């Protein structure tokens, strides 16, 4: 990635809906050059999709939590199967497969603390492969939408 690619990535992270013409004008290059570079960044997997940020509380899910899950037996099949199950649950915002004592970290948003309890008991711990869970309520969630290239 050179300085032009980095500038394009930064500009699109700030506003992914910018037109190619606007992006080119902001960078001081031709629209054809900008379009070519954006396409190359997409092809390389640097850029992927444009999404709106949604506030879970505005959708009736104001309670967020981080849930660590320990699975047994630890095998690729068990971890991937559970990962795919949790990913499909509507409460799940993010999912991380991790190393260490726990195997997964699940970020969820629910309507209430009672709904959180029900989610943990009815959706997670009822599964045979779950050896343990730990739930921590999130007081505040701050996102960093800008990722800068390493170096």
Give the range of the structural domain holding residue 24, as residue numbers without chain letter. Answer: 3-43
Strand partners for 97 = 104
pLDDT averaged over every residue in the chain: 94
Q: Answer whether residue 13 is part of any domain.
A: yes
151 has pLDDT over 90: no
Q: Answer whether residue 38 is part of any domain.
A: yes
Same domain, 74 and 111: yes
Q: Answer whether residue 148 is part of any domain.
A: no
**Residue 104 to residue 68: CA distance in whole angstroms:** 6
Residue 109: pLDDT band (50, 70, 90) is very high
Q: Answer whether residue 149 is part of any domain.
A: no
Residue 149: pLDDT band (50, 70, 90) is confident
Residue 65: pLDDT band (50, 70, 90) is very high
Residue 146: pLDDT band (50, 70, 90) is confident
Residue with tokens 């967020």: 64
CATH number of the domain where residue 115 is located: 3.30.70.920
3 has pLDDT over 80: yes
CATH number of the domain where residue 14 is located: 1.10.10.10
Q: Answer whether residue 68 is part of any domain.
A: yes
pLDDT score recorded for residue 40: 97
Same domain, 38 and 68: no
145 has pLDDT over 80: no
Judge contact between 5 and 27, C-beta under 8 A: no
Look up the pTM and report it: 0.83
Same domain, 94 and 134: yes
pLDDT score recorded for residue 150: 79
- How many structural domains is the chain composed of? 2
Same domain, 76 and 22: no
Q: Answer whether residue 143 is part of any domain.
A: no
């Amino acid at each position: 990635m050179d300085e032009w690619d980095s500038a394009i990535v930064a500009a699109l992270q700030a506003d992914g809906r910018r037109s190619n013409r606007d992006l080119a004008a902001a960078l001081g290059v031709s629209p054809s050059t900008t379009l070519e570079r954006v396409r190359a960044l997409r092809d390389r997997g640097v850029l992927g999709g444009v999404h709106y940020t949604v506030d879970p509380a505005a959708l009736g899910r104001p309670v967020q939590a981080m849930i660590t899950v320990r699975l047994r037996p630890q095998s690729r099949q068990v971890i991937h199967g559970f990962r795919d199950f949790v990913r499909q649950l509507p409460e799940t915002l993010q999912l991380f497969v991790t190393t260490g004592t726990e195997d997964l970290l699940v970020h969820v948003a629910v309507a209430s603390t009672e709904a959180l309890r029900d989610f943990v008991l009815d959706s997670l711990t009822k599964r045979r492969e779950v050896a343990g869970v730990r739930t921590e309520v999130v007081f505040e969630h701050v996102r960093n939408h800008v990722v800068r290239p390493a170096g």
